[in-house]
A = this chain, B = another copy of it.
Amino acid sequence: MAKRHPLLADRTETMNPSAIRELLKSLNVPGMISGAGGFPAADSFPVEVIRGLIDKVLREKGAAVLQYGITEGYPPLRAALAEYVRERGICCSPEEVCVSTGAQTAIDAASKILLDPGDCMAVEAPTFLAALNVFRAYQARIIAVESDEEGAIPEDLERVLDAYPIKFTYLIPTFQNPTGRTLSRRRREKVAEILVRRGALAVEDDPYYELRYRGEALPTLKSFAPDNVIYLGSLSKVFSPGMRLGYYIAPPPFQEFMTTSRQAVDVHAGHLAQAAADEYIRGGHLKACLPSIVELYRSRLETMLKTLDDCLPEGFARSNPDGGMFVWISGPAGFDAVKAQREALSKKVAFVPGGAFFADASRGGNTLRLNFTLVPEDKIREGLAILAEALASAL
């Protein structure tokens, strides 16, 4: 980049538009097979259901849902969500649930009220790229907690909490982004025990909860340590990402400060969108639509895993997700995922090199993330054949 503009704040030094921008541009190329984004399948959206619900809301509630709303969210939706998360082991009143402009705005709000420049906070290594960008924007010192196939390693979390004054630990326990891994029940209990014993705080980001394709649902971390967890949920995967709806359940005083912070950012989530989501949950449409979404993604995941097992070059390994949207690939030492990306993009296949998911830029150069929800199965097979060649070429 050219010389920095003198008016820009220091935090912009950590903001790198080009990486993401380059990727987004690539996705607009006709014929591109994209395993890059974290997009739900467009054919999973219940368009006609949503069309009917929005029409109903506008007929019945009219101007009220076009007006400003309160920052905490549309009260009926907050009540519906409080009921909805009970099966996750979360017991809360409607007043304890707040609706945000996507879960991303809630990650921003939690970070804004907790992080001073130079403060330490912890993440799984690797973790969600856009969450890292939030923590960087608040100039946090990001400390890695190591993870394996069973998720974040509790002993390493304890080591990190011993070694650094950690403000909070950001975790995606279920179908993690980017690895697809799930924190085991045993480890959930252990992590919760650590949090409670130390009076420590975690942000549990849980956007994929509903997207389980095999195995039994696990209770949330929040259910084991309600006073120590800021819980984030999303309606992007089971309703519509374009509607920008997430929610958070945070212990006081964090909930109050997150909401106050949001009064000066998004003000409130879209009012009509919230009213439509309320009808979607309350009217049983979510429960009715979910099985076909899960079935669609289960097939795509199975196709991706089977194809990977057939075509991955020697020395490559994949994660084994029970749900979510991503599979994580690790290559042998010396494999260069960025080089493989260039090669794959030239043949119209996109993925994200794994380095982007580590706070430490020197890590993850031999890893990559693949999304399996967006692309139909024949395209998954076609794309993975090209990917396998690109991987082999970058050894």
Contacts and interface: CB of A to CB of B under 8 A. Distances in A.
Contact of A244 (B63, B133, B201, B266): B266
Contacts of A101: 101, 244, 266
Interface in A57-84: 58-59, 62-70
Given A68-B39, A272-B273, A261 B117 contact: no
Contacts of A263: 20, 130, 133
Contacts of A45: 62-63, 66-67
Contact of A242 (B10, B12, B68): B68
A266 B266 contact: yes
B12 A113 contact: yes
A58 to B, nearest CB: 4
Interface in A112-145: 112-117, 119, 130, 133-134, 137-138
A269 interface: yes
Contacts of A91: none
A261 to B, nearest CB: 7
A113 B66 contact: no
A137 B108 contact: no
A102 interface: yes
A128 B244 CA distance: 26
- The range of chain A's interface size is 35 or more
A112 B11 contact: yes
As for how many copies of this chain the complex holds, the number is 2
Interface in A254-269: 254, 256-257, 259-261, 263-269
Contacts of A70: 24
B261 A15 contact: yes
Nearest to A40: B67
Interface string A1-42: 000010111111001110010001000000000000101101
A260 B17 contact: yes
Contacts of A8: 113-114, 253, 257
A70 B26 CA distance: 13
A270 interface: yes
B240 A66 contact: yes
A288 interface: no
Contacts of A254: 5
A42 B104 CA distance: 30
B104 A265 contact: yes
Contacts of A138: 9
A341 interface: no
A47 interface: yes
A167 interface: yes
B63 A15 contact: no
A242 B272 contact: yes
Given A9-B113, A15-B261, A55-B55, 12 more contacts: A7-B114, A45-B66, A50-B66, A68-B241, A105-B266, A108-B264, A243-B272, A244-B267, A244-B270, A270-B273, A272-B273, A273-B273
6 contacts: A9-B113, A39-B67, A42-B66, A45-B67, A67-B242, A101-B266
In the complex, the 9 A-B pairs of residues with the closest C-beta atoms, listed nearest first: A242-B271, A42-B63, A66-B240, A17-B260, A133-B264, A51-B58, A45-B66, A68-B241, A66-B242
